[in-house]
Chain A
Amino acid sequence: MSVLLIAEHNNKEVKPFTYNAITAASQIDQDLHVLIIGYNADEVAKSISQVPSVKKVIQVDNEIYENYIAENYTSAILKQADNYSHIVCSANTFGKNLMPRVAALLDTSQVSDIIKVISSDTFLRPIYAGNAFATVKSNDPKKCVTIRPTSFDPAPSTGGSAEIVKADAADKTETTQFVKREEIKSDRPELGTARVVVSGGRGMQSGENFKLIQQVADKLNAAIGASRAAVDAGYITNDHQVGQTGKVVVPDLYIAVGISGAIQHLAGMKESKVIVAINKDGEAPIFSVADYGLEADLFEALPQFLSELNKLNTIQK
């Protein structure tokens, strides 16, 4: 039994969730190999080879993998699949797009978005936006599993020296072309891995008002999140959305501002260690999951919050 993990990277750096997925994968089986499909991605292969729990790195390097196209990745993965009992990757937009295509061609019923490894064939996964947890056992001979990264700690990234072997590229698809990527650059911590997240909802009333959130986020070195309502209204871009169909975050501190707390939003943040809700509607469902609720007008509360933070001698970063 061996596990093949598909690394997510941008040809230069390993994406942080790959380390969380490595932790989960090594709980499935110790014989963990990582497949790196990319172009001029030697640095990525080197980084992964230093992860102590990784036994082998397989690198497929070809210009057809300069941009991530699920069709091209799939054929490269299938070339390696015979040797493995499990194929795994993160359950973010990278893995969600990729793994079902692999699973279908292996005639495997995929187990999506696991939050716990119970044994090599049995896993815990949330269903109904996290309102129920299902324990499921896969009876397929080969298993395809995606991992909710925030449910596993990142694996240590140094100290190992796994061998790196090169493998051949597979066929290139002629029917899908990469056109462009609009990546929103930010100096803030990444939403998925930030220690503190400050999120705004419909109550913010405009994109302009999100600067109140930004000021608090700057002070706390926090990432900025948003409810679907705020993204739909155009206050902020989609990469900030937290929830069932957005990102799942598990920060030490989650501050929900002007967010009523629809089931779909709670699905993305209710595992946070400490939750603060600031909302003028005392009946808002967000208060039912908040450790500290403040019933107040956010336009008064946020500036006050900032000035109170400024009074503190030290703030954790």
Chain B
Amino acid sequence: MKILVAVKRVIDYNVQIRVKEDGSGVVTDNVKMSTNPPDDNAVEEAVKIKEAGKATEIVAITVGEEKAQETVRKALAVGADRGIHVKVDGIIEPLAVSKILQKVVEKEKPDLVFMGKQAIDDDCNQTGQMLAALLNWPQATFASKIEVKEKSLEVTREVDEGLETIEVNVPAIVTCDLRLNEPRYASLPNIMKAKKKPIEQINASDLGIDTSPRIEQIKVEEPPKRKAGIKVANVEELVQKLKNEAKVI
């Protein structure tokens, strides 16, 4: 089985976001970037499946500017075999990303495509489902457990009510939840080895896909700030405040 894993470069999850004064977006200059966290889970799961002898090759792919390659390099360092970087500058929406991935899937013919369930920058939660639609493949979203069977996957999904299990035939798309596994750290020797692994570069424009945004971002602003609260001295005071001041109990 061959697995394609899609990874995205985003502002690191620990960074406190700052909105640009002109309302055009958020500050990204000199800000720490890293792989979108659930994409790390997607890579880890693919590597685990390969280690279990159920996959033969893992290809890591990213879509984005020049530096997005770093995320592919990281995937190579934890066990992906080779990489693909589809170069595109500027804002790219999930619909365009899924069309790019569709082209790559048609060429690479993987049996499975894994990615994180949501990117923590635009919080869209769309790409996996869109790719599944375009390919007419089954989708297993928000996966917290994957069992690889002969020609299918049994996937446990985290849903609002609890857990749901579905079986999807291969080929399939899986979007990964943070609880799917514990992503490993790359060892130094593996980071060195990863530098020698090939990354194929493709220009998005060569794929014949219109990647121009369909959604206009009119402005980005800070959310309203909460007014500062107070510290209470003890539990009695807390309960009195809730009862008599906030009137919520």
A residues adjacent to B (C-beta < 8 A) = 69-71, 74, 92-94, 96-105, 107-113, 122, 126-140, 173-184, 192, 196, 220, 228, 231-232, 237-239, 244-245, 247, 252-253, 263-264, 270, 273-276, 282, 287-296, 301, 304-305, 308-309, 312, 315-316
**Chain B residues with a Cβ closer than 8 Å to the other chain, count:** 83
Least CB distance, A232 to chain B, in whole angstroms: 6
Q: Which residues of B contact A308 (CB under 8 A)?
A: 235-236, 238-239
Query: In the bound complex, do residue B214 and residue A291 qualify as a contact, i.e. CB atoms below 8 Å apart?
Result: no
Query: In the bound complex, do residue A239 and residue B162 qualify as a contact, i.e. CB atoms below 8 Å apart?
Result: yes
**Secondary structure type dominating chain A contacts:** mixed
Q: Which residues of B contact A176 (CB under 8 A)?
A: 138-140, 166-169
Interface string of B1-38 (1 = CB under 8 A from A): 00000000001011011010000001000000000001
Query: In the bound complex, do residue B118 and residue A101 qualify as a contact, i.e. CB atoms below 8 Å apart?
Result: no
Least CB distance, A114 to chain B, in whole angstroms: 12
Question: Can you name 22 A-B pairs with beta carbons within 8 Å?
Answer: A71-B139, A74-B133, A96-B141, A98-B129, A101-B129, A104-B129, A128-B120, A136-B216, A176-B139, A176-B140, A178-B164, A179-B166, A228-B178, A232-B179, A238-B179, A263-B16, A270-B226, A292-B229, A292-B242, A296-B235, A305-B239, A315-B249
- Complex Cα gap A49–B231 (Å): 49
Which of A134, A180, A264 touches B13 (beta carbons < 8 Å)?
Answer: A264
B65 sits at the interface (CB 8 A) = no
**Secondary structure type dominating chain B contacts:** mixed
Residue of A nearest to B131 (CB): A104
- Complex Cα gap A287–B154 (Å): 42
Which of B130, B165, B243 touches A103 (beta carbons < 8 Å)?
Answer: B130
Which of A74, A102, A247, A287 touches B231 (beta carbons < 8 Å)?
Answer: A287
- Complex Cα gap A86–B166 (Å): 29
